[in-house]
A and B are shown apart, each in its own frame.
Chain A
Amino acid sequence: MAQKTMIEAITEALATELRNDDRTLIFGEDVGKNGGVFRATQGLQDEFGEDRVFNTPLAESGIGGMAIGLALEGFRPIPEIQFFGFVFEVMDSIVAQAARTRYRMGNTRNIPITIRSPFGGGVHTPELHADSLEGLIAQSPGIKVVIPSNPYDAKGLLISAIRDNDPVVFLEHMKLYRSFREEVPEEEYTIPLGKANVVREGTDATVITYGAMVQESVKAAEVLAEEGVSVEVIDLRTVQPLDIETITASVEKTGRVVVVQEAQRQAGVGSKVIAEISERSVLSLVAPIGFVASPDTVFPFGQAEKDWLPNAEDVADKIRELKEF
């Protein structure tokens, strides 16, 4: 075991799958010799060759078409979109083409691609780098959306994503890339897609969240523990499909729930989680479902991130509010 950052865990997962399966291919803007703008693919071209890890022209839609075409020729493409704010250029390939192929071809063909892309606020990026756009993809039938919150999960989930025979969008929060290290086993392991993780057990309220908001929610839970409130924190890990069983079990145990996301209130997957809880567990609730999200504006100018992004205090306040209800 070794202490690793999330970006190191991601590189390790990619190397593992390049080694395990010679049909896997990594490509995107500057992922080759340069090792990616965040070094996620550092050293992979040197180890596996230009035939397996290669740069593309600067055109996201072309990258999407490449991934689909290569999949049709029997490869397992792992393309990268440099920042997820650029997904608009390649929406057709992802949601109108890759996500639909198994369905439209009557289960006779499938597109086993894993699209990796960084996103997330808190690091003062320029425009359209940090936007949380997972909700757009999560609304599109035929594709899975995975968002790890720590190095251990990132490695296990990415290996699972690459081995999955359906398209997966794997979103990597930039603030989590190097913000902390944790133990990551050297050997390969998988974490099933569609399975949430109870990162902290509690009995008074449930926080359901993902991405960078997991840490904020754990911080809030720690503060509330000192106030005698026991908070359970669930990290969804996969935001489409949802782990209904884990969500339901926790909500029925605590009776209070706050859904926390970094995306704007009208975006993300929070409203979907709330709808599922409303339909399945409303009689277990002793308070309305809380929703912590960003304001419904365009992602903020760099200097205003701190005032705009939700944080541990927002989460703690919302739980206190539910306790008082």
Chain B
Amino acid sequence: MAEKKANVKIEDLLNPQNFDFSTVQVLDENGTIVNPDLMPDLSDEELVKLMEDMVWARELFNRSTALARQGRLGFYAPTAGQEASQIGSISVTTEDDFILPGYRDIPQLIKHGLPLSKAFLWSKGHVEGNNYPESLRAYPPQIIIGAQYVQAAGVAVGIKKNGRKAIAMTWTGDGGSSQGDFYEGINYAGAYKAPAVFYIQNNGWAISTPRELQTAAATLAQKAVAAGIPGIVVDGMDILAVYAVSKAARDFAIAGNGPVLIETLCYRFGAHSLSGDDPKRYQPDGIQDEWQAKDPLIRYRKFLTDKGLWSPEKEEEVIERTKEESKAAIKEADQAPKQKVSQFLRNMYETPDYVTQEQINKYEAKENK
């Protein structure tokens, strides 16, 4: 991990000529503010909201894991450990921003307005999971690693052409930063000075491949240099740092200065996905424990508790609420109508061609038997 440095100014980091890729941190592992200058300007209520959202995300991970193990969910990529990275970034957006999540970025989608029942339907493999309300500015979770980056550049150019005061926000992982589309995406956004904020959530592993095997580059944020855009490394286990950097990056992009690349240093507690991955096979002993101590919830909980803004009761309340919410959402998801091949065929084109229409007729006849 890159060296941490106190007293950095975000304005300095938001400069493509800045080659300081030391790690921005606001809150250390003990919940102490180490860089007061970077403390985001948030009310007590807003500070509490960040904690509520992280506790919600952790409990959503617990619920989703349990539901997946019971066979009530399908594909699920665990998020525990990335709460600061995911919640910290999405919390600076408004509904005018367009988000392009990867497959692990479900919490951001829900925070941006996707009903939880739809997120569950996506996991189960049901079209209704991607049936987005008109108002939701988002593209569904991207399975092709890197594709969201080139698309985000396009969305950002579109936002600029439309004169909207908004950004495109997208996420990939450390492994994803080796893809061609990763580079093309940041380079296109840079060339057009388009308002995009790109994240690399560096959780150390791309399935079993350690981050060191992705590249000899000392940091992933320095890849921004290749696009001529600012790159910032942030402690991804520190919600205040992620929030502060994200907020500054969004303001910078909206002001017409172009895109920003942000690397969040975080960790994936547990497996890559629940589809048979076992990190014990490849991760060194003790590394999970080492990172558990850096848990974003621990340090932020301490910070808020010291300020008298948080209590075990409050936390329990959020957990209970999330349990109830999950229960209702999975119930709703279970009630989604069985998918029909005839409907899939109808969803292919605005107007079906001759051969597609023949197939619609054939499957409708079967379905109506």
| CB nearest to A73 among chain B residues | B158
Q: Is the CB of A107 within 8 A of B346?
A: yes
**Residues in A neighbouring B152, C-beta threshold 8 A:** 65, 69
* Cβ of B130 under 8 Å from chain A: yes
A244's partner among B149, B153, B168, B354 (CB-CB below 8 A) is B354
Q: If A59-B188, A73-B98 touch, does A166 touch B349 (CB 8 Å cutoff)?
A: yes
Q: Is the CB of B156 within 8 A of A194?
A: no
A105's partner among B140, B156, B187 (CB-CB below 8 A) is B140
* Cβ of B1 under 8 Å from chain A: no
How many pairs, one residue from A and one from B, have CB atoms within 8 Å of each other in the complex? Answer: 134
**Residues in A neighbouring B181, C-beta threshold 8 A:** 61-62, 65, 92
**Residues in A neighbouring B154, C-beta threshold 8 A:** 65-73
A65 to B152, CA, bound (A): 8
A194 to B353, CA, bound (A): 8
B182-197 at interface with A (beta carbon < 8 Å): 184-185, 187-188, 191
A164 to B188, CA, bound (A): 27
State how many angstroms separate the Cβ of A176 from the closest Cβ of chain B: 25
A63-99 at interface with B (beta carbon < 8 Å): 64-75, 92-93, 96-97
B147's partner among A25, A56, A70, A92 (CB-CB below 8 A) is A92
Grouping DSSP codes into helix (H, G, I), strand (E, B) and loop, the B interface class, with mixed when no group exceeds half, is helix
**Residues in B neighbouring A74, C-beta threshold 8 A:** 158, 162
* Cβ of B361 under 8 Å from chain A: no
**Residues in A neighbouring B130, C-beta threshold 8 A:** 104-106, 108
Q: Is the CB of B127 within 8 A of A106?
A: yes
A57 to B185, CA, bound (A): 11
**Residues in A neighbouring B155, C-beta threshold 8 A:** 69-70, 72-73
**Residues in B neighbouring A244, C-beta threshold 8 A:** 354-355
A68 to B142, CA, bound (A): 13
A110's partner among B150, B157, B346, B350 (CB-CB below 8 A) is B350
Report the contact-size class of chain B (Cβ under 8 Å from the partner).
35 or more
Report the contact-size class of chain A (Cβ under 8 Å from the partner).
35 or more
A102's partner among B128, B188, B347 (CB-CB below 8 A) is B347
* Cβ of B356 under 8 Å from chain A: yes
**Residues in B neighbouring A93, C-beta threshold 8 A:** 147, 150
B339-369 at interface with A (beta carbon < 8 Å): 344, 346-350, 353-356
Q: Is the CB of A65 within 8 A of B161?
A: no
Q: Is the CB of A62 within 8 A of B159?
A: no
* Cβ of A187 under 8 Å from chain B: no
* Cβ of A301 under 8 Å from chain B: no
State how many angstroms separate the Cβ of B155 from the closest Cβ of chain A: 4
**Residues in A neighbouring B158, C-beta threshold 8 A:** 69-70, 72-75
Q: Is the CB of A73 within 8 A of B162?
A: yes
Q: Is the CB of A73 within 8 A of B131?
A: no
**Residues in B neighbouring A59, C-beta threshold 8 A:** 184, 187-188
Q: If A62-B153, A102-B349 touch, does A69 touch B131 (CB 8 Å cutoff)?
A: no
* Cβ of B291 under 8 Å from chain A: no
A307 to B185, CA, bound (A): 43
Q: Is the CB of A108 within 8 A of B355?
A: no
| CB nearest to A97 among chain B residues | B147
* Cβ of B256 under 8 Å from chain A: no
B151-175 at interface with A (beta carbon < 8 Å): 151-159, 161-162, 168
7 residue pairs, one from A and one from B, having the closest CB atoms: A69-B154, A65-B150, A73-B158, A241-B353, A106-B131, A69-B155, A62-B184
CB pairs A–B below 8 angstroms (7 shown): A65-B152, A66-B150, A66-B157, A96-B147, A242-B355, A244-B354, A276-B355
